[in-house]
């Protein structure tokens, strides 16, 4: 566990070095997004749950009645409000609102690279450790389910699928994981791929 935790801490950007500017995937969206429209700032928590020698990643399933991305798997998070001091504050606030997991059980330790979404958000992924004995109080208006996936599963090369889709007339590559009948894809899987790439760079 200590070795895995150390690698994670070294792989991410430090808390004193938040990502600035366009997301690492911005070039892929140049033909989709209107450059004259500012990207909206958002933040998500990438939660690594620690239990003894085990490390897992926590995900939420968005409520099925939501207007956007209903039923999709995501990290807890959302738009950065004017009242949020920074991306960390926004990620912690959204996590507590959605799951009930409070900041007392969360230790932010770094950032992944910013990610631009097709819906016009520039997402700041905040990596954090979550105490294994956390308590859930899900907001049924936003979240249908919270579940965990072993971190080792996500790191196994065979479990990361690369797929070609046709979107707005152009072939695009997306990443996806399949875990116990659940499909983790889109921005969430792309952020995990960014983490995997950063871990690989340490070798």
Tokens in use for 122?
């520039």
Domain for residue 51, yes or no?
Answer: yes
Burial of 53 (0-12, 13-18, 19+ CB in 10 A): exposed
| pTM of the predicted structure, to 2 decimals | 0.93
Tell whether 182 is covered by a domain.
Answer: no
Is 164 a domain residue?
no
pLDDT at 15: 97
Structural domain harbouring 16: 2-152
Instruction: Give 174's pLDDT tier (boundaries 50, 70, 90).
Output: confident
Q: Is pLDDT of 195 > 60? A: yes
The Cβ of residue 120 has, within 10 Å, a number of other Cβ atoms equal to 15
- 192 domain-assigned: no
Count of domains observed in the chain: 1
Task: Read off the pLDDT of each residue in 11-22 and give the average, rounded to a whole number.
Answer: 95
38 in a structural domain: yes
pLDDT at 167: 65
Question: Average pLDDT over the chain, rounded to whole?
Answer: 91
Distance CA 162, CA 11 (A): 22
In a domain, 95, yes or no: yes
pLDDT of residue 138: 93
> What pLDDT is stored for residue 60 in this prediction?
96
Q: For residue 37, what pLDDT is reported?
A: 86
In this predicted structure, which of 3-7, 45-49, 180-184 has the lowest mean pLDDT?
A: 3-7
| pLDDT tens for each residue of 67-111 | 655 578 999 999 999 999 999 999 999 999 999 999 999 999 999
Tokens standing for residue 75:
């990290």
CATH number, domain of 61, equals 3.90.79.10
Query: Hey, how many other C-beta atoms are within 10 angstroms of the C-beta on 159?
Result: 15
Per-residue pLDDT, 67: 61
- Given a cut of 80, is residue 4 above it in pLDDT? yes
The per-residue pLDDT for range 44-66, each reduced to its tens digit, is: 999 999 998 789 999 999 885 66
In sequence order, which residues have a C-beta less than 8 Å from that of residue 188 and are 6 or more positions away? 59, 72, 73, 74, 75
* Strand pairing class (121-131; 143-150): unpaired
Confidence grade of residue 169 (pLDDT, cut at 50, 70, 90): low
Residue 44 lies in a domain: yes
Q: What is the mean pLDDT of residues 145-170?
A: 88
Which three-class secondary structure state does DSSP give residue 189? helix
Q: What are phi and psi of 113, to 5 degrees?
A: -70, 150
In a domain, 181, yes or no: no
């Amino acid at each position: 566990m200590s070795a895995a935790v150390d690698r994670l801490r070294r792989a991410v950007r430090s808390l004193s070095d938040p990502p600035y500017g366009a997301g690492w995937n911005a070039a892929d969206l140049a033909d989709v997004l209107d450059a004259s429209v500012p990207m909206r700032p958002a933040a998500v928590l990438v939660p690594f749950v620690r239990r003894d020698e085990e490390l897992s990643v926590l995900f939420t399933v968005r409520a099925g009645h939501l207007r956007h991305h209903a039923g999709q798997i995501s990290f807890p998070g959302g738009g950065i409000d004017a009242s949020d001091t920074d991306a960390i504050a926004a990620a912690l606030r959204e996590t507590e609102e959605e799951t009930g997991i409070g900041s007392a059980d969360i230790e932010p330790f770094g950032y992944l690279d910013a990610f631009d979404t097709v819906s016009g958000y520039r997402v700041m992924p905040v990596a954090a450790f979550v105490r294994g004995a956390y308590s859930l109080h899900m907001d049924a208006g936003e979240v249908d389910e919270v579940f965990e996936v072993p971190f080792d599963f996500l790191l196994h090369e065979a479990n990361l699928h690369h797929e070609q889709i046709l979107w707005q007339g152009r072939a695009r590559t997306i990443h996806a994981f399949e875990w116990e009948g659940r499909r983790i894809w889109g921005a969430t899987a792309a952020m995990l791929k960014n983490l995997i790439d950063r871990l690989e760079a340490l070798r």
